[in-house]
Structure 1
Amino acid sequence: MKGNTVKLSFRRRLIYVGVAIGALTLGGAGIGTAQASTSHVAHSHHPRPASAKPTVVLVHGAWADGSSWSGEVSRLQHDGYPVVVAPNPLRGLSSDADYLREFLGGITGPVVLVGHSYGGAVITNAATGNANVKALVYVDAYIPDANQSVAELTSPDSVLAPAGTNPTSVFKLLPYPGAPAGIYDTYLLPKVFEAALGAGLSKSQIAVLAASQSPTSLVALGEHSGAPAWASIPSWALVGTQDKLIPPAAQLAMAGHAKAHVVKVNAGHLSLITAPDAVTKLIDTAARTTA
């Protein structure tokens, strides 16, 4: 890294991010698959009967992609749900939420919106004011209130906590085109990836996921959240009791603040991969309760 930028504390860098965002008005970009885009168009042009099941929209978290949801997709489709995996660009909370908000605008009828990890912060912002979103489901997720950031909600006992004093102890930082000064894409270091996300996975699974992680801008971690959708939309939270990235106590505190219905599962941060039956069951519960 160059100059004194890397020497700045993680928190100081993220405070700077908040200032930079206001000046730059960052835009959104996409990471969706062709399948997700096709489903998006289909829902726009083929309204479903009022009695049909709601569309389940799945939003992945940081350092991940839509394939994280493959277990839930197959199960939900088997149960008769229309389901799409939404793009999450991982560029910044406001721009990621704007992107998802536009995506949701192309879906006709009721929606159950599901977010994992950082994706929870994204759905919290994107669903605000959207009358079609009938339920929010948080899976090992951040559930911010207004003016809170992912960095601020990362508890001292998180595997990511050392980034507060030394970002390079947790992340590989790489520049990317168009980034504000002092802002980088983050990749979890292999040892951190395993410690934070590896519970319940084989060594080979961990190696594949670590090698294929999607870059996440520091902006996404430091930007403050807006008015929360959970204030007006019923919410559910699945809490992995072995989670090392967002420890259970932090998840429960956020879920309690949002008045979410909580279900615990004996899993780590990637319960969507290691416990897809439990995640699917909670999504189905939310869909049935709000029907």
Structure 2
Amino acid sequence: MWTLPTIVLSHGAFADSSSWNGVIKRLRESDFPVIAAPNALRGPIADGDALRSLLDTIEGRIVLVGHSYGGTVISRAAAGLDRVAALVYVAGFAPENGESVGDIAGKFTGSTLGETLIARQLSDGSVDLYIDPGKFHDQVAADLPVADAELAALTQRPISNIAIEQPFAAEPPAWKTTPSWFVFGDADKNIPLQTHRWMADRAVATRVLEIPRASHAIPISHPDEVAYLIADAAASVTR
């Protein structure tokens, strides 16, 4: 009898672990053990190391999943950790050593995220970034009902400017040594489609799933497809 791997989910910017609720429901229906890890959104080094500490407490094999900025976090957390048997990037960043999220976001034209951001200066000199609630639906979640997007906008968690600007540090990043799966929408306004395809190609992804007319918020708007791809990655671990 096969032992199912533990699925560990890392959410992205402007969200929290509840963004995985639909995906978790579907994974639990297949009896997968699931952990929705907290993500402080403070910077890839600190956030990656915090997730790594959590992974060190889990026995057995792990499928590590990251949405958006969470992709950067899993790329560091899993570096050199053999028990992470698969990585799943859900509209996620997969950086190379020395690249920042900002570097990747600006590599190709098409992202309109920058013009929707609101900056709030903190006492330590850093800046917290939010998406203007009035622009959240169109920018992030155009394939969700307006009421759902408005609620997500009002409960969004900010990301630090450090998380956007800090160069990624892991040599090598986990996607270079661990099989990866990529899923993203072709209507993503945060990360252009060309960027998603480029990252998946660079990682030599095991499988790539493009969802027509899907926004950046695919864990919420397309939980069936996201859970399906995670389960496909998990199946490769158990075979």
Shared topology, TM-score over 0.5? yes
Structure 1 match to 2:219? 272
Structure 2 match to 1:170? 116
Structure 1 match to 2:156? 213
Aligned residues: 232
Aligned-pair CA distance for 1:191: 3.7
Q: What's the CA shift string for 1:183-227, capped at 9, x where partnerless?
A: 211111124422221221111111100000001100001111123
Cα distance in 2 between the residues matched to 1:74 and 1:201 = 18
Cα distance in 1 between the residues matched to 2:117 and 2:216 = 18
Equivalent residue of 2:64, what SS?
strand
- Report the RMSD for the aligned CA atoms in angstroms: 1.3
Equivalent residue of 2:149, what SS?
helix
| 1:138 matched to 2:89 | yes
Tell me if the contact between 1:110 and 1:132 (Cα under 8 Å) persists in the aligned partners.
yes
Structure 2 match to 1:190? 133
Equivalent residue of 2:51, what SS?
helix
Cα distance in 1 between the residues matched to 2:184 and 2:141 = 16
Structure 1 match to 2:53? 102
Task: Return the letter of the residue paired with 1:176.
Answer: L
Structure 1 match to 2:209? 263
Cα distance in 1 between the residues matched to 2:221 and 2:88 = 17
Task: Return the letter of the residue paired with 1:144.
Answer: P
Tell me if the contact between 1:57 and 1:84 (Cα under 8 Å) persists in the aligned partners.
yes
Aligned-pair CA distance for 1:69: 0.2
Aligned-pair CA distance for 1:80: 0.9
Task: Return the letter of the residue paired with 1:97.
Answer: G
Cα distance in 2 between the residues matched to 1:87 and 1:124 = 16
Task: Return the letter of the residue paired with 2:131.
Answer: L
TM-score when normalising by structure 2: 0.93
Tell me if the contact between 2:8 and 2:37 (Cα under 8 Å) persists in the aligned partners.
yes
| 1:283 matched to 2:230 | yes
Structure 2 match to 1:86? 37
Cα distance in 2 between the residues matched to 1:198 and 1:281 = 20
TM-score when normalising by structure 1: 0.77
| 1:147 matched to 2:147 | no
Cα distance in 2 between the residues matched to 1:188 and 1:93 = 20
| 1:56 matched to 2:7 | yes
Structure 1 match to 2:112? 159
Cα distance in 2 between the residues matched to 1:251 and 1:199 = 18
Cα distance in 2 between the residues matched to 1:249 and 1:172 = 26
Tell me if the contact between 1:159 and 1:195 (Cα under 8 Å) persists in the aligned partners.
no
Structure 2 match to 1:251? 196
Equivalent residue of 1:76, what SS?
helix
Q: What's the CA shift string for 1:255-279, capped at 9, x where partnerless?
A: 1001112111121111111111100
Cα distance in 1 between the residues matched to 2:63 and 2:3 = 13
Cα distance in 1 between the residues matched to 2:100 and 2:139 = 19
Same amino acid, percent of matched pairs: 40
Task: Return the letter of the residue paired with 1:242.
Answer: A
Structure 1 match to 2:181? 236
Aligned-pair CA distance for 1:249: 1.0
**Structure showing greater Rg:** 1
Structure 2 gap segments, 5+ residues each: none
Equivalent residue of 1:289, what SS?
helix
Tell me if the contact between 1:159 and 1:192 (Cα under 8 Å) persists in the aligned partners.
no
Task: Return the letter of the residue paired with 1:262.
Answer: V
Cα distance in 2 between the residues matched to 1:244 and 1:191 = 15
Task: Return the letter of the residue paired with 1:139.
Answer: V
